[in-house]
Amino acid sequence: MTKVSDTAIYNRIIGRIKGKIEGPTLLFIGGMHGNEPAGIIALDKVLKDLKCKKDIFKGNVYAIAGNLPALQKGIRYQENDLNRLWIQENLNHIKDGVNDSSNPEFNELKDIYRTIENILEEEKGPFYFFDLHTTSSQTVPFITVNDSLLNRKFTSKYPVPIILGIEEFLEGALLSYTNELGYIAFGFEGGQHENPNAVDNHIAFIYLSLVFCGSISKNEIDFDGYFNHLSDNTRGLQSFYEIFKKYEIKPDEDFIMNPGFTNFQIISNGKHLANSNGKPILAHQNCRVFMPLYQAKGNDGFFLIRRIPKIFLNISKVLRTIHFDRILPLLPGVSWASNKKDELIVNLKIARFFTKKFLHLLGYRSRRIDKNYLRVKNREAASRDSEYENLF
């Protein structure tokens, strides 16, 4: 595979197209993890190939590089995972001008944050965010997305598996920040880090995204070729999935994933998945394994996922559209967290019907405060649905 240094990427903005016709603004981010250059290589290629089509191009495309020093070193990160730093406290520090120049990832966070802010200020919407990654295990390409109806509708255009609700398990991801702003924003995982196919998958994904956002017409590119490329890679898996378990590795734990698991692999109850301090970790039900960890850095050992039945997706769409959640505070043990009415506080001792499944149906993401209380936030409340109306 082309090394990232071969493409001489040392700038935050690695490419940009300003179309002659008005249109949306797309932000692609590659290399948030420095050991994942495939997205950057693909962006560099697509943007160069499209330079000659400026006259027929609608709106803007920005290709942004993530963790520059880590990319140059070919490592995931130096001190902190840049894709876990996008929490409100850190962003407030940037806004307040608090400087922590001793930490390389905090410097990257600050620079990318300002770059995004500038683009949001200077350009017109609608805005779309795409975060490009690769994984340590072998995988078919897939999408990870915060579960709002807007995100669901847009991502369902791609012929790849879609994983809903990863933000419940990962705090501080760039996408959680952009989703809080209400924009369409999601991640694309193009394949295994070193697999040359990961670059091709990213190229196909970028071209499809340009068409789905209306930046370029289908006829201007080999749309069917790119669509079929992704579709052929993901046959039998094109569906929505939910994560129901994350195995988190403790600070001093000796965790070893058993070799040979591929992403989305079906596993049966009792399957030996990994070892923790020499003791086996077994699956407790039939399901699929997701993102098994085969690299030294990171503390997400593996996730377990299951397919979401279509009926469940449809019911949740209806319940969210009629704002069913607005009657919940009438029930005992449930109250709004503030006047904004986008967050509920639930006393679990009283409101026992508040299961995770029920919350997901209504578009809420759960965060447990303690044994008795749950704080749940509505993903739909921030969604800028009207800005994308009739666009796709």
Backbone dihedral region of 366: left (phi > 0), alpha (psi from -120 to 50 degrees) or beta?
beta
What's the closest the beta carbon of residue 347 comes to Zn ion, in angstroms? 37
Q: Of 133 and 320, which CB lies nearer to Zn ion in the complex structure?
A: 133
From 32-40, 65-73, 172-180, 274-282, span contacting Zn ion (CB under 5 A) = 32-40
Residues 35-74 that bind Zn ion (CB under 5 A): 36
Q: Of 33 and 320, which CB lies nearer to Zn ion in the complex structure?
A: 33
Q: Of 133 and 202, which CB lies nearer to Zn ion in the complex structure?
A: 133
- Measured between alpha carbons, how far is residue 92 from residues 50, 87, 109, 382 in Å? 37, 9, 12, 19
DSSP classification of residue 7 = G
Q: Of 133 and 271, which CB lies nearer to Zn ion in the complex structure?
A: 133
Whole-angstrom distance, CA of residue 185 vs CA of residue 138: 24
What's the closest the beta carbon of residue 129 comes to Zn ion, in angstroms? 15
Q: Of 173 and 334, which CB lies nearer to Zn ion in the complex structure?
A: 173
Q: Of 20 and 297, which CB lies nearer to Zn ion in the complex structure?
A: 297
What's the closest the beta carbon of residue 133 comes to Zn ion, in angstroms? 3
Q: Of 198 and 289, which CB lies nearer to Zn ion in the complex structure?
A: 198
Does 133 participate in binding Zn ion (rule CB under 5 A)?
Answer: yes
- Positive/negative CA dihedral, 105, 106, 107, 110: positive
What's the closest the beta carbon of residue 36 comes to Zn ion, in angstroms? 5
Instruction: Write the burial class of residue 195 (CB in 10 Å: 0-12 exposed, 13-18 middle, 19+ buried).
Output: middle
Backbone dihedral region of 277: left (phi > 0), alpha (psi from -120 to 50 degrees) or beta?
left
From 29-37, 268-276, 326-334, 346-354, span contacting Zn ion (CB under 5 A) = 29-37
CB distance 183 to 127 below 8 Å: yes
What's the closest the beta carbon of residue 248 comes to Zn ion, in angstroms? 17
Q: Of 33 and 379, which CB lies nearer to Zn ion in the complex structure?
A: 33
What's the closest the beta carbon of residue 154 comes to Zn ion, in angstroms? 21
Q: What binding mask, one character per residue, do residues 91-130 give for Zn ion by CB under 5 A, x or -? A: ----------------------------------------
Half-sphere exposure of 47 (CA within 13 A, CB side): 22
Does 152 participate in binding Zn ion (rule CB under 5 A)?
Answer: no
- Measured between alpha carbons, how far is residue 311 from residues 135, 159, 240, 315, 318 in Å? 30, 20, 12, 6, 11
CB distance 219 to 213 below 8 Å: no
CB distance 365 to 379 below 8 Å: yes
DSSP count for the chain of H helices, then E strands = 10, 18
What's the closest the beta carbon of residue 102 comes to Zn ion, in angstroms? 24
Instruction: Write the burial class of residue 353 (CB in 10 Å: 0-12 exposed, 13-18 middle, 19+ buried).
Output: exposed
DSSP classification of residue 258 = P
Residues 334-373 that bind Zn ion (CB under 5 A): none
Residues 179-238 that bind Zn ion (CB under 5 A): none
Query: Strands 142-145, 272-276: parallel, antiparallel or unpaired by DSSP?
Result: unpaired
Instruction: Write the burial class of residue 351 (CB in 10 Å: 0-12 exposed, 13-18 middle, 19+ buried).
Output: middle
From 30-38, 246-254, 300-308, 372-380, span contacting Zn ion (CB under 5 A) = 30-38
# chain residues binding Zn ion, by CB under 5 A: 3
What's the closest the beta carbon of residue 46 comes to Zn ion, in angstroms? 19
DSSP classification of residue 1 = -
What's the closest the beta carbon of residue 294 comes to Zn ion, in angstroms? 13
Q: Of 193 and 360, which CB lies nearer to Zn ion in the complex structure?
A: 193
What's the closest the beta carbon of residue 193 comes to Zn ion, in angstroms? 9
Q: How many other C-beta atoms lie within 10 A of the C-beta of residue 23? A: 18
Residue facing Zn ion at closest CB distance: 133
Does 33 participate in binding Zn ion (rule CB under 5 A)?
Answer: yes
Q: Of 134 and 215, which CB lies nearer to Zn ion in the complex structure?
A: 134
Q: Which residues bind Zn ion (CB under 5 A)?
A: 33, 36, 133
